[in-house]
Chains A and B, each alone.
Chain A
Amino acid sequence: MGGCPNLRQTTMVKSDFGYNSKVEGEVIVTRADAVVNWVRSHSVWPMPMGLACCAIELMGAGGSRFDISRFGMEVMRFSPRQADCMIVAGTVTYKMAEVVRRIYDQMAEPKWVVAMGACASTGGMYRSYATLQGVDNIVPVDIYISGCPPRPEALLDGMMLLQEKIRQEGGSLKRTFRGRTVETKIVR
């Protein structure tokens, strides 16, 4: 395959149009779930929910030095309709919690949530009246990343862990939230 089309024209034989075992290799047999999960895991479109300093590291992970696109998830979407992984990067206040949940609801299934950093995971150092003590109180979180803020490598590690998790998922869209299985309910 490849090469100059004009050269190929001269040597083209009938077998080039059909299935070419030298190029395609052997036939792979698998389950539909596995294929779907494999495709999903390598086309994660993150929704950057950047709320504090973690967002700076998130941007660093997207830049050329750390290059999140090496792992097939560089397409940051600022519209929740086009995203399937919300990276909550930063401190979630109670005032912002409503917005985070609403954006999560606006994302299409299947969707995943990554709690990036101490604040998103547990409230971090903000033990105060204004801060939600962990974004898992309002949305189901798949991956928690430690750090304050986590380095881009930690984010990449977390995202690869998420890919691993996606590859092991069953066909169901149900997920666990606060220890029980729930179906996603839409908030308008």
Chain B
Amino acid sequence: MEAAVLTDRFPRTQVLASQDMPTYQVAGEDLVETVRFLRDAQGFDLLADLCGIDWKDRTPRFGVVIHLLSTTHKEYLRLHVGAVNDAVPSVSSLHPGANWHEREAFDMFGIRFEGHPDPRRILMWDAYPYHPLRKEFPLAGIEVPLPAADVAEVTGQAVEPAPMMGGPFVSPGGKMSQAEPSALDQSWNEEKPKA
């Protein structure tokens, strides 16, 4: 598909630089019609992936990336949509496979998908107060109560920040080290006397 096919029909669409597949910046207002046009008129009939991005310093801060595949033309295509006011129109009415992907993007980034039939979290529990894949969220987590109050009462357990010990999967110094990736902070190691 020529880029002009899309940019002529949707003037707000821009071509983005990409190394692997044609990539377009689509305006949020055009997204549903763009995906519909690509599906019905251009043969991009399979939604391969849909995910969120936290751009941190950009405005809008969040974006949604949609990968489409044409099973007839054997072509991939990528759409990027900025989430103005953290909201993006849902494409799950066009591609049912987008349903859970959009729930995951909402769960992890807090991007609202307008028109989604079931806008709930999918990985974390419903009452979880944070969106863990946002840049400012620490990998170790933030302390909150357990999802089940009765279990928390019996066990005295909460959702606690995980001990990072210098962070997981860090290769020891030197390039192309043969040693196993391990934590930088080895204070937990039994080689050191325990406090």
A contact residues vs B (CB 8 Å cutoff): 94-95, 97-98, 101-102, 123, 125-133, 137-139, 178, 185, 187-188
Closest to B137 in A: A129
Contact residues, B21-49 vs A (CB, 8 A): none
Residues of A within 8 A of B1 (CB): none
Answer whether A128 and B146 are a contact pair too, CB < 8 Å, given A133-B163, A138-B151, A187-B151: no
Report whether B147 and A95 are in contact in the complex, using a CB–CB cutoff of 8 Å: yes
Report whether B162 and A133 are in contact in the complex, using a CB–CB cutoff of 8 Å: yes
A139 to B151, alpha carbons, bound, how many Å? Answer: 10
Report whether B157 and A138 are in contact in the complex, using a CB–CB cutoff of 8 Å: yes
B143–chain A nearest beta-carbon distance, Å: 10
Report whether B157 and A127 are in contact in the complex, using a CB–CB cutoff of 8 Å: no
8 Å CB contact of B155 from A101, A123, A131: A101
Answer whether A185 and B137 are a contact pair too, CB < 8 Å, given A127-B165, A129-B162, A133-B160: no
Whether a CB of chain A sits under 8 angstroms from the CB of B15 is no
A132 to B146, alpha carbons, bound, how many Å? Answer: 10
B contact residues vs A (CB 8 Å cutoff): 123-125, 130, 132, 137-142, 146-148, 150-151, 154-157, 159-165, 167-169
Residues of A within 8 A of B150 (CB): 187-188
Answer whether A129 and B151 are a contact pair too, CB < 8 Å, given A95-B124, A137-B157: no
A78 to B23, alpha carbons, bound, how many Å? Answer: 49
Residues of B within 8 A of A133 (CB): 160, 162-163
Residues of B within 8 A of A187 (CB): 150-151, 154
User: Contacts A94-B146, A130-B124, A139-B155 given; 19 further ones with Cβ under 8 A?
Assistant: A94-B125, A94-B147, A98-B148, A101-B154, A101-B155, A102-B148, A102-B151, A127-B140, A127-B162, A127-B163, A127-B164, A127-B167, A128-B162, A129-B130, A129-B161, A130-B123, A130-B141, A138-B151, A187-B151
A126 to B165, alpha carbons, bound, how many Å? Answer: 12
Report whether A98 and B146 are in contact in the complex, using a CB–CB cutoff of 8 Å: yes
Answer whether A98 and B141 are a contact pair too, CB < 8 Å, given A127-B164, A127-B168, A130-B132: no
Report whether A125 and B132 are in contact in the complex, using a CB–CB cutoff of 8 Å: no
Closest to B141 in A: A129
Residues of B within 8 A of A188 (CB): 150
Answer whether A97 and B124 are a contact pair too, CB < 8 Å, given A127-B139, A127-B168: no
A133 to B163, alpha carbons, bound, how many Å? Answer: 9
Residues of A within 8 A of B124 (CB): 95, 130
Report whether B140 and A129 are in contact in the complex, using a CB–CB cutoff of 8 Å: yes
A178 to B138, alpha carbons, bound, how many Å? Answer: 27
A102 to B138, alpha carbons, bound, how many Å? Answer: 29
A188 to B12, alpha carbons, bound, how many Å? Answer: 57
Report whether A128 and B141 are in contact in the complex, using a CB–CB cutoff of 8 Å: yes
Report whether A137 and B155 are in contact in the complex, using a CB–CB cutoff of 8 Å: yes
Residues of A within 8 A of B164 (CB): 127
